[in-house]
């Protein structure tokens, strides 16, 4: 690859990341400037201001789910970031999960995606045994969509079930009530280990003043009904009260500073070495639209510690690169799709980004090795799927693919997935897509997630649609076919973008490619807090 091509690649990926940042800037406005102004009138901070005040400013805060709800619920005015701000940060030097309701978005009401996002944060906390800080300021369930957030297994009530489960696991949960906490949502702070309230703004009650009046005819104001004084002096529900949010959050810092530690998993970590290639070079690897082959080692060398990569079965199964390495000092096993067109062991040419029999076989063995050695796994996804055709079928591609999927599904070590490019079909599964429980899953701005590539999918759907029209006796001209194809392609391509995936929490975040190394390191640091690693078993595998 010459310098001109590298420059074009860099410009395209940086432009894509700039687009991400512009969209994030809009999301960070929450419910808009007027809603933010109303917060300030009440002497209240915004959700992001609360988190910024709470977290250590000399360590990273990794926001998760910022794109949750993106371009969804437009009929209700949208739901930026799912109405909550959440992520992993450090409080008094301790890595924690923080979840803060954004009161500027529909008074902090819970949409379906809000519930899914909060459940994901609790899942991360449980998997990694991280303390959870809830900053509560919510009006409860968004009533126009109550049937999609209230009654099912993965809906609103699951939050409180998880509160109880985490408490039984010994995971600390602290709730800072800085605003309203209404109806079913009132259980969250009370099921936490400790509850802190801000006088004048914080309130907890099953039914607000208007509902109390309607239900039993009692006239009562919010502060008397469930304010900080009521719950610290009369009901005993809350543990602390403070005059300002800052004082409240200062106490959270003090409480966290005194927490004990769980036994660590003990993943290997030594003094880090900087990568042999500068992180900025990572932008130069992939072509615009990911249309050209590239060597995945050019990405790996930007991420791993210098001279730490030991490739496994280098001359076998070349469309997947496997190897042991260190990232920021942490020992890792890397499984990465190779996009070069390579020669197989038999001298045959193999397409880059496709999983062949030998690649699947090699990967399954390597994944089992990492589980045997208690080494976390990092998957770098840029895969178009498994190889098709009579030769592959006769060679047992389904069997070898199943072997790899079995190894991924049954892995007990932490798995961190980075989708750098394509993530199509069963390749998404085999390379540890969301359905295979990665501890964390991130996407580059260049990521595309779908059952198959846009062009193939659009042509397939076109054939089906045209056949149906002809079966009804409708004449279909070439112009009509092109019009249909264009509409199908536009819709399908929109559904393959990282924004579409992040909006639905198929990925935890869209990340700056140059921050990939840091994100992986922080993910493994989180995973190291949980020493409970089960024995590795693969079950039945056809050999």
Q: Is 64 helix (H, G, I), strand (E, B) or coil?
A: coil
**Three-class HEC string of 427-480:** HHHHCCCHHHCCCEEEECCCCEEECCCHHHHHHHHHHHHHHHHHHCCCCCCHHH
pLDDT of the chain along its 543 residues, tens only?
789 999 999 999 999 999 999 999 999 999 999 999 999 999 999 999 999 999 999 999 999 999 999 999 999 999 999 999 999 999 999 999 999 999 999 999 999 999 999 999 999 999 999 999 999 999 888 888 999 988 888 888 999 999 999 999 999 999 999 999 887 778 899 999 999 999 999 999 988 888 888 999 999 998 999 999 999 999 999 999 999 999 999 999 999 999 999 999 999 999 999 999 999 999 999 999 999 999 999 999 999 999 999 999 999 999 999 999 999 999 999 999 999 988 877 777 888 899 999 999 999 999 999 999 999 999 999 999 999 889 889 888 999 999 999 999 999 999 999 999 999 999 999 999 999 999 999 999 999 999 877 777 777 888 888 888 888 888 878 888 888 888 888 888 888 999 999 999 999 999 999 999 999 999 999 999 999 999 999 888 877
DSSP letter assigned to residue 82: G
Whole-model pTM? 0.94
Of 271, 282, 374, the residue nearest 332 (C-alpha):
374
For 268, residues 6+ apart whose C-beta sits below 8 A from its C-beta are 330, 331, 375
Residues 6 or more apart in contact with residue 533 via CB below 8 angstroms: 265, 374, 412, 413
- DSSP assignment, residue 489? H
Q: In sequence order, what are the residues at sequence separation of 6 or more whose Cβ sits closer than 8 angstroms to the Cβ of residue 40?
A: none
DSSP string, 222-252: HHHHHBHHIIIIIS---SEEESSHHHHHHHH
The 8-class DSSP code of residue 197 comes to E
Phi, psi torsion values for 62, nearest 5 degrees: -100, 105
Give the whole-angstrom CA distance, residue 266 versus residue 93: 19
Q: What is the DSSP string of 372-414?
A: HHT--EEEEEEE-EE--SHHHHHHTHHHHHHHHHHHHHH--S-
Determine the Cα–Cα distance for residues 166 and 75; give it in Å rounded to an integer. Answer: 36
| Sign of the torsion angle spanned by Cα atoms 450, 339, 280, 324 | positive
> Nearest 10 degrees: CA dihedral of 488, 26, 59, 529?
-40
């Amino acid at each position: 690859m010459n310098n001109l091509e590298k420059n074009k690649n860099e410009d395209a990926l940086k432009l894509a990341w700039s687009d991400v940042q512009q969209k994030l800037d809009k999301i960070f406005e929450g419910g808009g400037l007027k809603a933010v102004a109303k917060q300030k009138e009440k002497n209240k901070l915004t959700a992001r201001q609360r988190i910024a005040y709470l977290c250590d400013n000399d360590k990273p805060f990794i926001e998760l789910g910022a794109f949750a709800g993106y371009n969804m619920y437009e009929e209700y005015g949208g739901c930026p970031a799912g109405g909550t701000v959440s992520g992993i940060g450090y409080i008094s030097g301790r890595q924690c999960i923080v979840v803060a309701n954004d009161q500027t978005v529909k008074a902090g009401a819970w949409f379906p995606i809000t519930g899914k996002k909060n459940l994901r944060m609790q899942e991360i906390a449980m998997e990694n045994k991280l303390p959870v800080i809830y900053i509560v300021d919510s009006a409860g369930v968004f009533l126009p969509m109550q049937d999609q957030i209230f009654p099912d297994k993965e809906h609103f009530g699951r939050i409180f079930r998880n509160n109880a489960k985490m408490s039984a696991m010994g995971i600390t949960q602290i709730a800072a009530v800085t605003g309203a906490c209404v109806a079913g949502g009132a259980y969250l702070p009370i099921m936490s280990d400790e509850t802190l309230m801000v006088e004048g703004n914080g309130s907890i009650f099953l039914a607000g003043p208007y509902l109390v009046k309607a239900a039993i005819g009692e006239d009562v104001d919010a502060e008397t009904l469930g304010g900080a004084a009521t719950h610290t002096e009369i009901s005993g529900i809350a543990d602390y009260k403070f005059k300002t949010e800052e004082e409240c959050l200062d106490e959270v810092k003090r409480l966290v500073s005194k927490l004990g530690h769980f036994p660590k998993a003990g993943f290997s970590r030594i003094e880090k070495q900087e990568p042999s290639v500068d992180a900025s070079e990572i932008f130069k690897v992939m072509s615009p639209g990911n249309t050209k082959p590239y060597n995945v080692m050019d990405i790996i060398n930007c991420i791993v510690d210098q001279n730490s990569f030991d490739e496994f079965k280098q001359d076998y199964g070349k469309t997947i690169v496997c190897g042991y390495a260190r990232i920021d000092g942490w020992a890792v096993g890397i499984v990465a799709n190779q996009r070069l067109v390579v020669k197989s062991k038999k001298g045959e040419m193999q397409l880059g980004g496709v999983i062949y029999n030998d690649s699947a076989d090699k990967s399954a063995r390597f994944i089992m090795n990492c589980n045997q050695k208690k080494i976390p796994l990092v998957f770098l996804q840029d895969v178009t799927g498994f190889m098709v055709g009579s030769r592959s079928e006769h060679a047992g591609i389904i069997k070898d693919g199943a072997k790899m999927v079995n190894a991924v599904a049954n892995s007990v070590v932490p798995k961190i997935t980075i989708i750098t490019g394509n993530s199509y079909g069963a390749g998404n599964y085999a390379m540890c897509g969301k359905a295979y429980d990665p501890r964390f899953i991130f996407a580059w701005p260049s990521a595309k997630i779908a059952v198959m590539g846009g062009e193939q999918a659009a042509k397939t759907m076109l054939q089906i649609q045209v056949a149906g029209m002809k079966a009804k006796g409708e004449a279909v001209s070439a112009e009509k076919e092109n019009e249909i194809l264009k509409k199908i392609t536009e819709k399908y391509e929109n559904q393959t973008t990282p924004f579409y995936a992040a909006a639905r929490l198929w990925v935890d975040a869209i990340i700056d490619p140059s921050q990939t190394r840091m994100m992986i390191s922080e993910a493994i640091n989180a995973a190291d807090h949980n020493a409970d690693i089960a024995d590795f078993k693969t079950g039945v595998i056809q050999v």
